[in-house]
Amino acid sequence: MVQDSQRASCPLTTDPLMTLNTLRNALASPDLSLEMDAAQLRELLENVLQHLLPHIEELETRPAWESPEKASAEVLAPQPLPTSGSDWSTTLNELFSQRLSPSFNPASPGYMAYIPGGGLLHAAIADLIADVLNRYTTVWVAGPGLVQIETDVIRWFCELMGLGSEAGGFLTTGGSLANWSAIVTARCCRLPEDFLAGTIYTSDQSHHSIQRAARLAGFPASRVRVIATDENYRMCSNSLRSAIAEDRSAGLSPFLLVGQGGSTNTGAVDSLDELAQIAQHEQLWFHVDAAYGGFFQLTDRGRKHLVGIEQADSITLDPHKGLFLPYGTGCLLVRSRQTLRLAHGMHADYLPTMQQEDGRVDYCQESPELSRDFRGLRVWLPLKIHGFDTFRNYLDEKLDLVQWVREELAQIPHLEIATDPSLSIVTFRLQPPDVTGPALNEVNQQLLNQINESGDVFLTATDLDDLFTIRICILCFRTHLERLELCVQRIRNAANVLCQTGS
């Protein structure tokens, strides 16, 4: 009651001399500088296109990467808070002329580092549309037709992965948050509220986001079992069975098994069918992290490697990898939508009534987010325009390219293939005569430096069994045979120089 009386006595303004008329006059001339009309928008877009179109036209010749050490001190210096604005032209010039370079350039056909994200331009147009419309899409009543766009996308993905009619999912920012939500969902479905006896099983080739997600889901590091892999870097099923048995004997509660649908290191795919059988026998939730490899399910060769993914309880996908979309487009699928509701559903008095009818999805009840961007459009628009067949053709080309590269690399003297490609990653290292131990790793670091020196290709490395190993990951939709021929030539030249000099 005290709060109510205080609220009633609050004046309309802190200035006691300002009358109601004075206040009305002041409000009659508001600042409208944030409100853009159609003509201003057109002018701004034309200004932006003056920068974007040359960028797109020059992608073939722009470097795939630039050293961050090239960044100027002026660009890296903190800027003061801008109390007053500057004009569009000056600000855009600063962005494109000073901020864009140096940087990695995943849109380049020469970018074969890490796991490339393509940045499909159709999706950029979709994001512009979505941001201008600015509709709310995590509550069904706020935009039924727009929510249905995301619901259709999720259903298409579920069909692609072979999940049943009860399946569901949501779009998120990427694999890291999808893996986190999968672990939270598995925890809610398989463990009591006091869940700290639960144990998680993943391989020594899993993405680091699995262990981080486990920690964010409330599990200490001691509850995550890292299972050894075989000579092909796939989870060893015998080691897995032994770890589960030991934990049960110790009074712990095994509840979650994470398989790899294409590892980041080598692209290895676990024996998903065998892991699914173990999970079923042990009554574990079976999650497949297919952020990198999942969309190869579109291809005949990919489906052969991914057999068993259809038995998963949950699957992580990254459309910003296998569908070439802009960064910030991830996905979690589940065998049963009800499990997402169990883990994420929450009532609030200020929200509208949630939907109970089949097909009407309130994503705020099935995912961690309430307010977020309209991600569905950036996936839906390119798929509607081109169809899945076009994306299948591109992914088949990447599988062809990695096989071509593997055969070319095998012909370079003293170069050994470390892992054959399962999907679109091949790894290799240089083995000069009589070079071993730390010196061998140093030679391969030099090899990588020389390959990347020109900037027209960009490769990265990993450690496999403590050996510095170079990776080629072919996933950018702009990467075709011509750039791979250049890449192989860079590798051949650098390897010859290092073998001749003996360093």
Alpha-carbon dihedral angle through residues 114, 116, 117, 118, given to the nearest 10 degrees: 170
Instruction: Characterise 213 by phi-psi region: left (phi > 0), alpha (psi -120 to 50), beta (else).
Output: alpha
Query: What architecture is domain 387-501?
Result: Alpha-Beta Complex (3.90)
- Residue whose structure tokens are 């040359």: 54
User: Under DSSP, is residue 290 helix (H, G, I), strand (E, B) or coil?
Assistant: strand
Question: Containing H/E element for 259?
Answer: strand 253-260
Residue extent(s) of CATH 3.90.1150.170 domains in the chain: 387-501
pLDDT per residue as tens, the chain (503 positions): 344 444 444 455 566 556 888 888 889 999 999 999 999 999 999 999 999 999 999 999 999 999 998 888 888 899 999 999 999 999 999 999 999 999 999 999 999 999 998 799 999 999 999 999 999 999 999 999 999 999 999 999 999 999 999 999 999 999 999 999 999 999 999 999 999 999 999 999 999 999 999 999 999 999 999 999 999 999 999 999 999 999 999 999 999 999 999 999 999 999 999 999 999 999 999 999 999 999 999 999 999 999 999 999 999 999 999 999 999 999 999 999 999 999 999 999 999 999 988 889 999 999 999 999 999 999 999 999 999 999 999 999 999 999 999 999 999 999 999 999 999 999 999 999 999 999 999 999 999 999 999 999 999 999 999 999 999 999 999 999 999 999 999 999 999 999 987 65
Query: Per-residue DSSP letters for 343-405?
Result: HH----TTSPPPP-STT---GGGTSS-SS---THHHHHHHHHHHHHHHHHHHHHHHHHHHHHH
In single-letter form, the type of residue at position 32 comes to L
pLDDT at position 8, please?
44
Residues 6+ apart with CB under 8 A from 65: 103, 104, 105, 108, 111, 113, 452, 455, 458
For 228, other C-beta atoms within 10 Å of its C-beta total 13
pLDDT at position 201, please?
98
Given this structure, which CATH class describes domain 125-346+355-386?
A: alpha beta
Q: CA triplet 391, 394, 399: central angle to 5 degrees?
A: 125
pLDDT at position 363, please?
95
Residue extent(s) of CATH 3.40.640.10 domains in the chain: 125-346+355-386
pLDDT at position 10, please?
46
Question: Containing H/E element for 286?
Answer: strand 285-290
φ, ψ of residue 484 in degrees (nearest 5): -70, -35
User: Under DSSP, is residue 192 helix (H, G, I), strand (E, B) or coil?
Assistant: coil
For 465, other C-beta atoms within 10 Å of its C-beta total 8
Residues 6+ apart with CB under 8 A from 399: 296, 299, 301, 302, 421, 423, 424
pLDDT at position 502, please?
62
Question: Containing H/E element for 429?
Answer: strand 425-430
